[in-house]
Amino acid sequence: MSDMTLLKVLRDMGEPFHVHGFRSTFTDWAADKTSFPNAFVDAAKAHKTPDATEAAYRRTTHIEKRVKLMEAWGNYCASCSSGTVIKFPVAESG
């Protein structure tokens, strides 16, 4: 999912949060709690392969493996829900 997609969801919900925290949390969870290769995690975040040579040969989207990754992420998120949402104060701009 692109950062712009997540940002639109947050804006539509009227939430003042930034997307980077979601993507960072996902990356940390995948690295610490799963054995999915980093290539799948980067693909799920819509990252491009930084190495031009590798990018020229890697033309797969890893879609089936990304589905499993996102199912694991969804299960993890659902298991962490306590039903209580803690609101953080929003810093005043000025």
pTM of the full predicted structure? 0.64
DSSP string, 18-84: -THHHHHHHHHHHHHH----HHHHHHHTTPPPSSHHHHHH-----HHHHHHHHHHHHHHHHHT--S-
Q: Name residue, tokens 């999915």.
A: 36
Delimit the domains of the chain by residue range.
Answer: 3-75
Predicted pLDDT at 43: 84
pLDDT tens string 6-49: 889 888 988 887 787 788 889 999 999 999 998 889 888 877 77
Length of the chain: 94
Q: Name residue, tokens 């639109």.
A: 8
